[in-house]
Structure 1
Amino acid sequence: MKLSKEVKTGILVLLGIALFIFGFNYLKGRNLFEPTDVFYTEFDYNALSKSSPVTVMGNSVGKIEDISYNYDTGKTRVAFTVSEKLKFSKNSIVKMYEVGFMSGNGLTLLISNEGEQAKPGDVLQSEVEFGLVTNLSKNFSGVTDNLDSALKSTDTLMYSINKLVNDNSDAGLKHTIEELNYTLKSFRNTSNTVNETLSKNDKNITAILEKFKTISADLAVLTTDLKTANIGTTVETLNATLAKLNVILTSIDKGDGTIGKLLKDEGLYNNIEGATKEMESLLLDIKLHPKRYFRVLSKKEIPYTEPKTN
């Protein structure tokens, strides 16, 4: 059967309209072929619009289908659809929240799995979350009062600042700014001088840094040598030697041993002193009368006489 041009045109137009509707809903995140369930909730007033989104944890799961006034309860009844894959109990709460400044309000489903599972057509509990715009509208009167007080305080502050700026005394702000400007100029001159000095002595500074680097390397080598020199054993040996020397000095101080007796025994000292004097007398007599001690030189015995002392 052949179709006329008019029928073909009508079919194409209908297909175009259907495709447009499907594409438009698809771009808005809606799938016309996905089965949905209808649920209800009620609010004290209407701040929603049809086709507003229904979300779960920020994810779009449905939309508002209808908004009507319930004459029995005096509240606004909202019918919304969600995917039939979404399961939740009757204890879940539908919250109305502010999507944004220009986006209006939407619904979010606070899912609870406790209790009896919700079925299509059930009426769920609702609550309202006040957004930024709502809070500002509530507190706008208080804000205007505070703003008026703030403007008065600002006017007083500006008057005080103007008076301080126009003060020509030594304590005035102008004088303080001039002093600060002079200080900044001095600091800049000092900075320029320092930079010039560094530029002139750049070679000397480089040489000093190189010497310091060499000294640091030598110190590192010296430290390594000291670590490997086994100083601990040397110190222990020195301590042992000092301990023995201390024992010897203590023994001498007590008068023990030959050296101790020489230092402490006065009798021995006197005997040594007497013997020294006798030795001096003997050497003097030998010097004066050598023949007395050498019989080879003289056959006649010469008696000993005490040398005369002047």
Structure 2
Amino acid sequence: METTLKNQIKVGIFLVLGIVITMGSIFMLGANKALFSNFTHLYADFENVQGLARGSVVSLSGVVIGNIEAIDFVPEKNLLRVNMKIENDYLRRVFKGSEVEIRTQGALGDKFIYIIPGDPRAEAIKDGDTLPIAKSTDILNVISERGKETEKIFDIINEVYKLTKTLNHENHIGTMVANMSQASRDFKIISEKSLKIVSDFSDGKSPSVQMKASIDKLNNILGKIDRGEGTLGALVNDSSLHDQLKALVGGSQRKNHVKSLMRTSIEKD
């Protein structure tokens, strides 16, 4: 009887130890702890951690490389310093020039640190280094940082909405579309007629009666000028008339003619 009791006690002790060891292992794995890993601490200073908390994930290009160990206020500055515990196995992938930013993951909006890798040719980050903050790409952060400019954008959107609502309510859009469609059809007709006229000329076809009459009159006038008929023809073909006209208009020649006339009149007297 005593032997049976002792055996039961031993079995109970081993069972309790097994449960404790199993629960401890599950806890360590669930907390994302590596029993035999070495860690390095990196830092980043934020104006606003946006709900970031201890234990949040630190990711490098989508790979989890550590966790946030602490978030503390920076003395004499309006900043919050985030202490990141990074596994040494991944530290060699974080180079000088790498930047950090706060991102959101999952449907619940959990915050985490995302490290943007730097130039692989640069020197590797060392324990205790502080990483610079990347320029925010979150639309909500951009809106909050550029409040006045964002208000102008929303004002413009509101005005465009009012305009489109008014046009749609009074059926102006339909009228404008109909007018544009009619103008397009008219322009097409004019273009087709113009192309037909040009095509007729290029093919040697006879043009319209009015256009043919105008061309005949122009050819008749040019022919008379070329033959020296009329005043314009005489001016064009007779060089003496051209010289006399130039003499009458020109300054020095005109003076010589006046002097000659005066001399002639005096001699006659």
The two structures have a TM-score, normalised by structure 1, of 0.43
Q: Does 1 or 2 have the higher relative contact order (CA < 8 Å, sep 6+)?
A: 2
Q: Which has the larger radius of gyration?
A: 1
